[in-house]
Chain A
Amino acid sequence: MDAAFGEALIALLPNLRRFALSLSRRADLADDLVQITVERAITHAAGFDRRARLEPWLFRIMRNAWIDQTRRQRTAGTQVDIFEIPEALPVDPAPALEAHLMLQSVEVAMATLPPEQREVLHLVCVEEMSYAETAEVLSIPVGTVMSRLSRARLALAGKLGIE
């Protein structure tokens, strides 16, 4: 545990918040998820190989925490399905720029995709993870990353009207 590790972790907090929101699609759940991830990362810092990139390691912790979370929800009996809750997408009161509108439609289109397509899209295209790193985070083969990602991209292109 050292200050350099802490600063590297702090620098990646925006990435963790984005991925948490992508997984949970709810601000309150995302906040909890980031916090759990940070706590576990600090606890297990000694187990992190300093030569490796920190992002995949953190994303993997977060995704495991999320799976743990959804399993907990399943066992807890009557719960609200997190995917049934209306999405609280950011709403801009005065959208001036076309680029901004496009960004919103990308977010909306992405929210309609199945969770397993969303997470692979997010890791590769938003967080710029390599296919190999993404495979490691998701514990699936690289070939599966590619087929899932390709389907997700084509679905997204269709929704956004990219011919």
Chain B
Amino acid sequence: MQIDDETLMALADGELEPDRAEAVRRAVAADPELQRRLRRFAETRRLLGGLRTGAGGEDPLAGMIRAATAAPAPAPAPQAAPKAPAANLNRRPWLALAASAALAALGLGWWEWSGRGADGLPGAELAALDELPSGEVRVLADGTEISMIASFQLAGGQLCREYETARARALRTVLACRDADGWQARFAAQAQADGADYRPASGPESIEAALAALGAGEPLTPEDEALALRALPGE
């Protein structure tokens, strides 16, 4: 009886239908070579199961989760300022990455744009927001490098995009959302590149909190993002 590796593996993993499992088991019982091949799958599973170690004590995040889930869910309020999370939740991954890349964040700040912000974002950044796919970098005329990070769709269908700009030593992270008047910045943070030490930012947390407050979901896939960008009204 010819039995391939994937079937033997499925038997070891309990993924075969009962009838099929029984037939394969009978074949294995009669064939030392099949037993040897099955053992490689059974043993690897058993050994990897040993990595499933129990937790030692309560996880540090447990308290935060209890506090968040016991409270009534906040009403969706897109324009409301996101509440600052506890200080120990302040570390953003890109700041941690910045540390390894020897960047120093000199300050993070909140900008709240209410209604339309005519003096909000530079024109070249608006153009990039309309067309630059996430993951791509564009150098603007003034030497600013703009990196599109991700796109999000809010519950109402509104498109929001996160990007970073780097010019000289100044780094900026911006979250912009598209409304009837065009792109509006909903959040911006600045950091300063520095060859020396790394200072963690204090103050309110950043884009994660802003995204959470807006009710943004997972980042759009490249395909969904391309569709959303094509659907933007032309100028």
What separation, in Å, do the CA atoms of A5 and B94 have in the docked complex? 29
Q: Could you write out 6 A-B pairs with CB less than 8 Å apart?
A: A3-B69, A10-B66, A18-B53, A69-B93, A121-B44, A126-B48
B residues near A64, Cβ cutoff 8 Å:
218-219
Q: Closest chain B residue to A38 by CB distance?
A: B61
What separation, in Å, do the CA atoms of A61 and B219 have in the docked complex? 10
For residues 85 through 135 of chain A, which have their beta carbon under 8 Å from a beta carbon of chain B?
99, 102-103, 106-107, 110, 121-122, 124-128, 130-131
Given the contacts A3-B70, A43-B212, A76-B97, A162 and B48 also touching, CB distance less than 8 Å: no
Q: Which of B47, B71, B212 is the one whose CB lies under 8 Å from A160?
A: B47
What separation, in Å, do the CA atoms of A132 and B187 have in the docked complex? 39
| Contact in complex: B61, A34 (CB < 8 Å) | yes
**How many interface contacts (CB-CB < 8 Å) are there between A and B?**
172
Shortest C-beta distance, B92 to chain A (Å), equals: 8
A residues near B53, Cβ cutoff 8 Å:
14, 18
| Contact in complex: B62, A75 (CB < 8 Å) | no
Q: Closest chain B residue to A153 by CB distance?
A: B44
| Contact in complex: A5, B147 (CB < 8 Å) | no
| Contact in complex: B208, A39 (CB < 8 Å) | yes
What separation, in Å, do the CA atoms of A107 and B44 have in the docked complex? 12
| Contact in complex: A42, B69 (CB < 8 Å) | yes
| Contact in complex: A38, B40 (CB < 8 Å) | no
B residues near A14, Cβ cutoff 8 Å:
53-55, 59
B131: Cβ under 8 A from any A Cβ = no
Interface of A is mostly: helix
Q: Which of the candidate stretches B4-12, B105-113, B176-184 sits at the interface with the other chain? A: B4-12
Given the contacts A1-B72, A150-B6, A160-B44, A6 and B55 also touching, CB distance less than 8 Å: no
Q: Which of B66, B91, B149 is the one whose CB lies under 8 Å from A75?
A: B149
Q: Which of B10, B41, B73, B93 is the one whose CB lies under 8 Å from A36?
A: B93
| Contact in complex: A80, B10 (CB < 8 Å) | no
What separation, in Å, do the CA atoms of A106 and B52 have in the docked complex? 12
Q: Which of the candidate stretches B118-126, B134-142, B194-202 sits at the interface with the other chain? A: B134-142
B39: Cβ under 8 A from any A Cβ = yes
B residues near A74, Cβ cutoff 8 Å:
135
| Contact in complex: B9, A149 (CB < 8 Å) | yes
B96: Cβ under 8 A from any A Cβ = yes
What separation, in Å, do the CA atoms of A29 and B94 have in the docked complex? 10
Given the contacts A75-B148, A160-B44, A2 and B69 also touching, CB distance less than 8 Å: yes
For residues 69 through 83 of chain A, which have their beta carbon under 8 Å from a beta carbon of chain B?
69, 71-80
| Contact in complex: A102, B40 (CB < 8 Å) | no
Given the contacts A9-B69, A150-B9, A126 and B212 also touching, CB distance less than 8 Å: no
